[in-house]
């Protein structure tokens, strides 16, 4: 069943506050930006994640950890220009190195999500979910001061546009142990 998320524009702006939902971050604390932080805030109601969360069902197929290819079910755009996911995301090991999800300061890797370790959690009202994606310098250089749009397209779920503004408050922040510094 397809959902049209365009009717939820106001809600999406609340979940992804334009001035506080995207940051470029330094996760290694070496002074160099290496990742994008995408922050969502639960502004609706407490959400309970099912005990058994089947990622394979969500992406519409079986997962082969040796040949993970996100381009087969997910396309990302920054300001209408496609972000090519790194070729090295086709292995589970590199995906674990490039993707992290934080909830209540607990880090969950992609592997943790596949194994169901996010299941049974409650995302309380006001809770933040942080997604940290390690990306290349080319993508980071596209994130300049001003307005931007991040678009996620998939055959498994409706397209989602996240509009955000970047200012010097959003650049080269340190992100450590689930905390933005």
Task: With respect to residue 103, please indicate whether it lies within any of the assigned structural domains.
Answer: yes
Task: With respect to residue 106, please indicate whether it lies within any of the assigned structural domains.
Answer: yes
Give the pLDDT score at 158. Answer: 76
- The pTM for the full model equals 0.80
The number of domains in the chain is: 1
Give the pLDDT score at 11. Answer: 84
The yes-or-no verdict on residue 105 having pLDDT over 80 is no
Q: Among 16-20, 66-70, 79-83, whose mean pLDDT is lowest?
A: 66-70
The yes-or-no verdict on residue 103 having pLDDT over 60 is yes
* Residue range of the domain that includes 106: 10-50+65-176
Long-range CB pairs of 167-174 (<8 Å, 24+ gap) are: 167/19, 169/19, 170/19, 170/22, 170/23, 170/24, 171/23, 171/24, 171/33, 171/143, 171/145, 172/24, 172/25, 172/26, 172/33, 173/23, 173/24, 173/25, 173/26, 173/37, 174/25, 174/26, 174/29
Task: With respect to residue 136, please indicate whether it lies within any of the assigned structural domains.
Answer: yes
Task: With respect to residue 132, please indicate whether it lies within any of the assigned structural domains.
Answer: yes
Which comes out higher in pLDDT, residue 116 or 79?
A: 79
For 81-91, what is each residue's pLDDT tens digit? Answer: 988 665 545 45
Give the pLDDT score at 48. Answer: 87
The yes-or-no verdict on residue 94 having pLDDT over 70 is no
The yes-or-no verdict on residue 34 having pLDDT over 60 is yes
Task: With respect to residue 80, please indicate whether it lies within any of the assigned structural domains.
Answer: yes
Task: With respect to residue 94, please indicate whether it lies within any of the assigned structural domains.
Answer: yes
Task: With respect to residue 30, please indicate whether it lies within any of the assigned structural domains.
Answer: yes
């Amino acid at each position: 069943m397809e959902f049209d998320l365009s009717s939820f524009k106001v809600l999406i702006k609340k979940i992804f506050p334009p001035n506080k939902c995207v940051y470029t971050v330094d996760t290694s604390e070496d002074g160099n930006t290496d990742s994008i932080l995408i922050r969502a805030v639960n502004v609706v109601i407490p959400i309970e994640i099912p005990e058994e969360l089947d990622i394979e069902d969500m992406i519409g197929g079986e997962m082969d950890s040796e040949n993970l290819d996100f381009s087969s079910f997910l396309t990302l755009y920054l300001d209408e220009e496609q972000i090519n996911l790194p070729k090295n995301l086709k292995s589970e090991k590199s995906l674990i190195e490039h993707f992290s999800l934080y909830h209540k300061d607990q880090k969950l890797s992609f592997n943790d999500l596949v194994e169901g370790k996010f299941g049974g959690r409650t995302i309380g009202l006001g809770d933040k979910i942080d997604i940290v994606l390690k990306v290349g310098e080319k993508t980071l250089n596209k994130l300049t001061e001003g307005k931007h749009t991040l678009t996620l397209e998939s055959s498994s779920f409706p397209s989602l546009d996240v509009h955000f503004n970047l200012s010097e408050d959003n650049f080269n922040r340190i992100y450590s142990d689930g905390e933005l510094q």
